[in-house]
Structure 1
Amino acid sequence: MDVLWYLTGPDGRYPWREDGARPLNYAYFQQIARAVDHLGYTGALLATGIHDAWVLGSSLIPYTRDFQFLVAVHPPLVSPTLLAKMAATFDQFSEGRLRLNIVNGDAKQLAAYGVHLDHDARYAYTDEYLDVFKRLMSGETVDHAGTHLNVQGGSLQLPPHQRPHPPLWFGGSSDAALDVAAKHIDTYLTWGETPAAAEAKITDLRKRAAEHGRTDLRFGVRLYVVVRETEQKAWDAVADLYEHMDEESIARTQAGRAGSDSVGQRRMTALHGGSRPADPRELEIHPNLWSGLGLVRNGPGTAIVGDPDQVEARLREYADAGVDTFIVSGMPLLEEAYRFGELVLPRLPVDRTRGEDVRGTWNTWNEGWKK
């Protein structure tokens, strides 16, 4: 399996609060990246956050060796031709360590960048965008006049290190999202719903992919983890987090979601309902799966809680449901990378192979490029 960590701010013991957030700088990100690399993780997700994911990722290439960079991409914010150039450059410089996380976001988020597309239009845009992107990465000169894109004479002058292109990752829970994933995506990601809910999505996606003649999809889940040497210590750590989830932080987080058209976010919110019960264990929605972080964190809001045996058991339960990729994290990122890396990671069959596609030597690709 692939096991990735997380490399995106904000961070700290209680990053939803000013007095619990940690100052972030380049040296700190170097620390996290180096820890993830030497502890044996497959790599890390560089998600949409307070720093630009491309600048952050490219700056960390020389500080890592095997670390796979899963870098967030918002299709409407960069042309497919420019993305192809950026991706090929990053992939060459990192010697095949790039993966692309295609993010559609929501209407409210993209409006801040001047993009105004409704929910289904965003996925129609992404479908068209990925068609063009993959043609460019294959070495084709592209003329494309579509509903959303008009590319004339688009081409890429250098081949990527991974062929036919760096692997494409993607998340989304709506029908429109699942259709795009079935057609284009190498690894589909879901947020931390229960294993049964994940299995239902996987079954659905496999059927949709088969309609495109595809049987090679992989599946991943994004989760937080609170692991300690004993179950009691793990739930004590949850109690500490919960104690610092003040009403102001909860209200601010919930208000920030107002107007979101993300189906995945609605599903995460439904797991806790926006309310804070007196006992945090009331938000345990499945054995060892706690939804409380969703009160103060946007996006994925569930955490596996327990001792190493319990955490491993839950991960393997997801694996039995069809998941082979895990993006996990804890707070703070650095300390919890070590904790999970020492208590749980050695128990898992982690794939440290660079890249996911068959590739040959640079000279072989270069000779065959654009023939």
Structure 2
Amino acid sequence: MPVRVIGMIGVTPPAGAASVHVIKGGISTDYLRAFAQAHEQAGFDLVLVGYTASSAEGFLVAQYAAAHTSRLGYLIAHRPGFVAPTLAARKIATFDHLTSGRLALHIISGASDAEQEGDGDFQPKEVRYRRAGEYIEVMKRAWSSQRRFDFEGEFYRVKGAQSDVRPLQSPHPPLFFGGSSEGALAMGAQHCDVFAMFGEPLAATRTRIAEFRARAAAFGRTPTFNMSFRPILASTEDAAWDKARRILASVTTQQNATGFDNRKTPLDHSARRLLDFAAQGDVHDARLWMPIAEATGAVGNTSCLVGTPEQVAQALLEYYKLGVHSFLIRGFDPFNDVSAFGQELIPLLRDGAAALDRAAAA
């Protein structure tokens, strides 16, 4: 399977020498346009458009970026529950046509109950996952039904629903999801196409893939897998580790300046997993480096791979061998790292994956 490379765009230049987040703050159309175009020029397939309860609206961000790129796809983070699923289905199908099939969705339930309440949603997370499953079910009915349909569930009830527009992609744009709780895994196994995970050690990843494949098989589904990393690259291995330590110092300084205490950060199941691995050691499998995940409370994509482009590409290919055929990579210098990844890392990863596919076919 050809490897898929995903980045992440933001809407305003980040502050600080090492950026953990890229979607908070105001909006700069010049920056957004240039950031999307840099990803396209670097050879990325998709970019994630993130979501917070205070950030710019993701569909509009992606629509603007898509109008200024020709090939790049957009993985839009979407929280079910704020609009009717029938309306969302038409919105997504319309977007898919207007961008010539350059859309994927990342279904999320919200970073925390407190943040979700900022948008007026007071359902607990496990309930939100059940609601998301029902939401996806109604959307798929809207995309596929040739006749008006009725639906009555725990969260949604529609009568005589119909959509005149269906997605350009068949049967619909890819549906990503992430999470480690029982609610997340149950929802994803039944309804989603891609299981998105934060970077973990190889042995744990092998186990997670096997377990989730078994879950999805119970519904007759064959999922694919995405894993997120922060590559830290330099021309030599020693230089890469020096760079990693400088980034850690910068991140820690910024966290201290804001009064951040990772011991008091509300943790979801995925964050707890990363912190457990960090407690077991700074480095796993030679390249997976966890101190930044530990320093930030494992909020977001903070699992790092450290080394030369050749070494980091080989580390990614070890996950590819396990069945991870999609990688979300972004750096701590978000804009400049995009070009750096495109110069060496992405070509090396693509060539290596193609060689593994040829060997498997032979």
Give 3-state SS (helix, strand or coil) of 2:219's partner.
Answer: coil
The residue aligned with 2:245 is 239
Contact 1:253 1:298 in 2 (8 A): no
The structural deviation recorded for 1:193 is 1.2
Where 1:70 maps in the other structure, the secondary structure is strand
Q: Is the aligned partner of 1:128 residue 2:131? A: no
- Superposition pairs for residues 24-43 of structure 1, below 5 Å? 25-43=28-46
Does residue 141 of structure 1 match 2:148? Answer: yes
Q: Are 1:32 and 1:334, in contact at CA under 8 Å, matched by a contact in 2?
A: yes
| Structure 1 residue 109 displacement after superposition | 2.4
Match of 1:119 in 2: 125
Q: Report the secondary structure of 1:203's partner residue.
A: helix
Question: Helix, strand or coil: the match of 2:226?
Answer: strand
The aligned amino acid for 1:223 is F
3-state SS in 1 of match to 2:246: helix
Tell me the distance in 1 between the aligned counterparts of 2:260 and 2:149. Answer: 45
Distance, in Å, in 1 between the alignment partners of 2:64 and 2:332 is 23
Q: Which residue of 1 aligns with 2:100?
A: 95
**Paired amino acid for 1:326:** F
TM-score, with length taken from structure 1: 0.84
Residue 66 of structure 2 contacts residue 99 of structure 2 at CA under 8 Å; is this kept in 1? yes
Give the distance between the partners of 1:256 and 1:85, measured in 2 at CA: 41
Alpha carbons 2:10, 2:35 under 8 Å: kept: no
For 2:39 and 2:324, the matched residues in 1 are separated by: 21
SS of the aligned residue for 1:270 comes to helix
C-alpha distance in 2 between matches for 1:107 and 1:114: 10
Moved more, 233-242 or 248-257: 248-257
Paired residue secondary structure (1:349) = helix
* Partner residue, 1:5: 7
Which of structures 1 and 2 has the larger relative contact order (alpha carbons within 8 angstroms, sep 6+)?
1
Equivalent-residue separation in structure 1 for 2:344 and 2:211 (angstroms): 34
C-alpha contact 2:11 2:28 (8 A) present in aligned 1 = no
- Corresponding position of 1:309: 310
Matching residue of 2:357:
none
SS of match in other structure, 1:193: coil
> Can you list the C-alpha shifts for 1:125-156, whole angstroms capped at 9, x where unaligned?
11111111100111453321211112223222
1:14 aligns with 18
Alignment partner for residue 110 of structure 1, among 95, 112, 116? 116
Partner SS, residue 81 of structure 2: helix
The one-letter code matched in structure 2 to 1:181 is: G
Cα deviations across residues 252-308 of structure 1 (Å, max 9, x unaligned)? 2626733x4x211222233345xxxxxxxx622331111122223622221111101
TM-score for both structures, normalised by structure 2: 0.86
**Which range is displaced more, 173-182 or 86-95?**
173-182
Number of residue pairs the alignment of both structures matches: 337
Is contact 1:5–1:327 with CA below 8 Å preserved after alignment? yes
SS class of match (2:154): coil
The answer (yes or no) to whether the contact 1:268–1:299 under 8 Å persists in 2 is no
Distance 2:219 2:249 in 1: 49
How far apart in 2 are the matches of 1:311 and 1:132? 41
Contact 2:200 2:274 (C-alpha < 8 Å) held by counterparts: yes
In structure 2, how many angstroms separate the alpha carbons of the residues matched to 1:255 and 1:188?
Answer: 28
Task: Identify if the C-alpha distance between structure 1 residues 214 and 15 changes in structure 2 by more than 3 Å, giving closer, same or farther.
Answer: closer
Structure 1 residues 24, 119: closer, same or farther in 2, change over 3 A? closer
Deviation at 1:76, TM superposition (A): 1.6
Q: CA deviation at 1:56?
A: 0.6
Match of 1:320 in 2: 321
Is the contact between residue 141 and residue 153 of structure 1 (CA under 8 Å) also seen in structure 2?
A: yes
8 Å CA contact retained: 2:51, 2:58: yes
- For 1:99, what is the secondary structure of its paired residue? strand
Is the Cα contact below 8 Å between 2:26 and 2:56 reproduced in 1? no
Residue 334 of structure 1 deviates from its aligned partner by: 1.3
Inter-partner Cα distance in structure 2 for 1:329 and 1:322? 21
Tell me how far apart the structure 2 counterparts of residues 128 and 239 of structure 1 sit (CA, whole Å).
45
Amino-acid identity (%)? 28
**Within 2, Cα distance between the matches of 1:78 and 1:253?**
35
The alignment partner of 1:205 has SS state of helix
Match of 2:289 in 1: 290
Secondary structure (helix, strand or coil) at the match of 1:77 reads coil
The aligned counterpart of 1:220 is: 226
Cα separation, 1, equivalents of 2:26 and 2:98: 29
Letter in 2 for 1:4: I
CA distance in 1 between partners of 2:137 and 2:329 (Å): 30
Q: Say whether 1:349 aligns with 2:353.
A: no
Deviation for aligned residue 1:331? 2.0
Flag the 1:206–1:24 CA change in 2: closer, same or farther, 3 A.
Answer: same
Question: Counterpart amino acid of 1:40?
Answer: G
Alignment deviations for residues 44-96 of structure 1 (CA, whole Å, 9 cap, x no partner): 11111432211110111121111010001001222211211211111011000
1:65-80 alignment, distance < 5 Å: 65-80=70-85
